[in-house]
Each structure stands twice: as structure tokens, then as C-alpha cells.
Amino acid sequence: MKGPAGVIALVLAETAAGGAGFLFLTPLWGEVKRGFFYLTGVVVLVLAASSGAAGAAGYDATTASGGRLAVGLALSLAGATAVWIAMMTARLRPAARALGVATVGLAAAMLFAFARTANESVGLSFFQLLGGAAFTGAVLDGLLLGHWYLTDRKLTRAPINRMALLLGVSVVVEAVAVVTETFGSSPRSASAAATLNPLLTLAGSSTLIAFGMVACTGLIAVMIRLTLRGARPTAVQSATGFFYLAVMTALTAEIAAKVRFLP
């Protein structure tokens, strides 16, 4: 894959994978009502389907095997997500949960296929995509979880406190991933960068923007943690507002980082 469509496909794939991972690999299943799984599942479905569509638009014949497989797995993730949502609607909750957990493995396979489209080593590229998935996924699930408190007044602070902690950890992982992208890649995506934003074509600008936005997200994560120390119910609402800011900074960081990722 190449060009702006390829960059957007990567960021959407990371966000879908991270959203699914935090949804099923954390204790949320026993903490929140099933409506939250419908909400997050639909968002993951749209992100995965959009990633597949963007990947198809940015398809590059020189990376045929990796590009085609990545698009296919993104669409498969969207399809599998639709199936477990339907299972939950039919009250087949154990089966829906099992399939949901399986989609996390499918999402990891999708990221590995996307990693094969880069010019770097597959292992390093895969780590960078996993870091981006943790980063954007924590922001997405944290934002949706913050909104869910408006519908479930009896929900304890444990889920959002945990998500705030996971966001802080993911910021560190993302910072390491950006470092490896900086020193492990060459300036080779000028056309994609120019189309996305002329500033990204300046020497080192994409890296500086990525670092800056990761740092901003880290500061926001600290503010979320401090806000949640308050005992008032409005503390969760304030934390949700900070998650809104984190969505903007995290996605900006990932787009800036991924313009150096593709050929």
C-alpha cells in the first residue's frame, strides 16, 4: 500500500485492533452492561471496514501479498465483529464473548499483514503497529467508557481508572514505537506526506509532530488520572472531556508517524 489512503488504512486498523483488544482482554465483560459492547463493537466494525476500504484504495501491486491479505483481514474483522454483535442480540452471550476474544487474534493477524507492506523488517513494523494499536485503542475505549457512565449511574470508578492507567502505559509504548520508526526508517513517503499535509514533507517535521502529540497525550493522561481522584460524579465527565482531547492528539501523532511507514 502507498499514499494517503495507505496511511489512513494503517491508523484505522490500529484503532480497530486496539479497541477490540481492550474491550475483550480487560475485565469489562463482568463490569459493564452489554449495551457498552454494542456501542464499542459498532465503532470497531466501522473502523475495520473503513480500514479495508482505505487499504484497497491505497493498494500497491509491489506489495501484493501483504496488501491484499491486510485488506482481506480488515474486512474479516469487520464481519466477525458484526457476527458477535448479532450473537449478543440473540442472547448467545458465551458464544459472542468467545468470538469476540477470537477477533483480537484476528486483529493481531491483520496488523501483521499490514506490517508486511512496510520496507522495514516485519518484526519491527509489527511492534510499531501494536504500539499504535494500544495507544489509539486506549483512547477510543476510554472515551466511549466515559460516555457510558452517563447511562449507567451505578458503574464503579474501577473501569475508567483502569483505562486511564492503560492510556498512560500505552503512551510510553507509543513513544518507544515512534523512536524505532524514526531511526529504523528512511524518508521515503514524500508523496503521501505532501497530500496529507505540506508540513509533513519538511525534514524531520513528521517525527517532531509525532513526538509532540505523544507528549501531549501523556500530559492529558496525567490530567485524567488527577481528575479521577475527585469524589464528585462530575469528575468522570471532566475525565471524558480530556479523553476527547486525547483522541485528537493520539490520531494526529499516529498519522504523523505513519507517513514514514509505507514505501
- Decide if pLDDT at 5 tops 90: no
Within its chain, how far is the Cα of 17 from the centroid?
A: 6
pLDDT confidence bin for 118, thresholds 50/70/90: confident
User: What does the pLDDT read at residue 68?
Assistant: 87
Please state, in angstroms and rounded to a whole number, the distance separating the CA atoms of residues 3 and 190: 9
Mean pLDDT, residues 204-226 taken together: 89
Point out the least confidently predicted range of 56-70, 144-158, 230-244. Answer: 56-70
Give the residue, 203 or 250, on which the prediction is more confident. 250
pLDDT confidence bin for 258, thresholds 50/70/90: confident
pLDDT tens profile 29-88: 989 999 999 999 999 999 999 999 998 887 766 655 568 899 999 999 999 999 999 999
Query: Is residue 263 domain-resident?
Result: no
User: What does the pLDDT read at residue 9?
Assistant: 93
User: What does the pLDDT read at residue 41?
Assistant: 97
Residue 36 makes CB contacts below 8 A (sequence gap 6+) with 28, 144, 145, 148, 152
Q: Contact at 8 Å (CB) between 225 and 165?
A: yes
Residue with cell 493481531: 108
Chain mean pLDDT for the chain: 88
Q: Which of 46, 64, 87 is nearest to 2 (CA)?
A: 64
Residues constituting the chain: 263
Please state, in angstroms and rounded to a whole number, the distance separating the CA atoms of residues 205 and 198: 10
User: What does the pLDDT read at residue 246?
Assistant: 95
Phi, psi of 134 (to 5 degrees): -65, -40
Number of domains, the chain: 1
User: What does the pLDDT read at residue 202?
Assistant: 45
User: What does the pLDDT read at residue 119?
Assistant: 72
Q: Which of 106, 170, 165 is nearest to 132 (CA)?
A: 170
Query: Is residue 78 domain-resident?
Result: yes
- Decide if pLDDT at 138 tops 70: yes
Point out the least confidently predicted range of 48-62, 183-197, 234-248. Answer: 183-197
Query: Is residue 231 domain-resident?
Result: yes
Mean pLDDT, residues 184-191 taken together: 50
Mean pLDDT, residues 93-105 taken together: 96
Domain ranges, residue 165: 3-258
Long-range contacts of residues 90-97, Cβ cutoff 8 Å, at least 24 apart: 93/34, 97/24, 97/29
